[in-house]
Amino acid sequence: MHEMKLNDDPFKRIKEGTKTVELRLNDEKRQLVKKGDLIEFTNRETLEKITTEVVDLYKYPSFAELYKHIDPLVMGYDAGDVVDPKDMEQYYNKEEEEKYGVVGIKLILKK
């Protein structure tokens, strides 16, 4: 099982089932993730844990490319939000993105 941390808002959205694609840098850790794997997410604020199953992986060279192909609602945006791949710069810098590429991890919540 893979372990990842999440901020409170995306954690709640995955738990509610409104966010079904988690966006990450496709670094060494994420390159190990395969369809059918389990990911345990820990809420950074509350330390609550949820378990999800990986149902698909969407790999792109950049967040800009990924954003062209994935519905913003499943990535955790609300209808009417301004959707901008630059939002991911608060987590990852351009050098990392260019080195590794990015991945959208399609998830289902395990009960």
Domain parsing of the chain, residue ranges? 2-109
Read off the pLDDT of residues 46-81 as tens digits, 9 standing for 90 and up: 999 999 999 999 999 999 999 999 999 999 999 999
- The C-alpha atoms of residue 49 and residue 9 are separated, in whole angstroms, by 14
pLDDT in tens, 95-107: 999 999 999 999 9
Fold designation for 2-109 = 2.30.130
Q: Which residues pair with 106 in a beta bridge?
A: 21, 56
The 10 Å CB-count burial string (b at 16+, else e) for 16-32 is eeebbbbbbbbeeebee
pLDDT band for position 111 (50/70/90)? Answer: confident
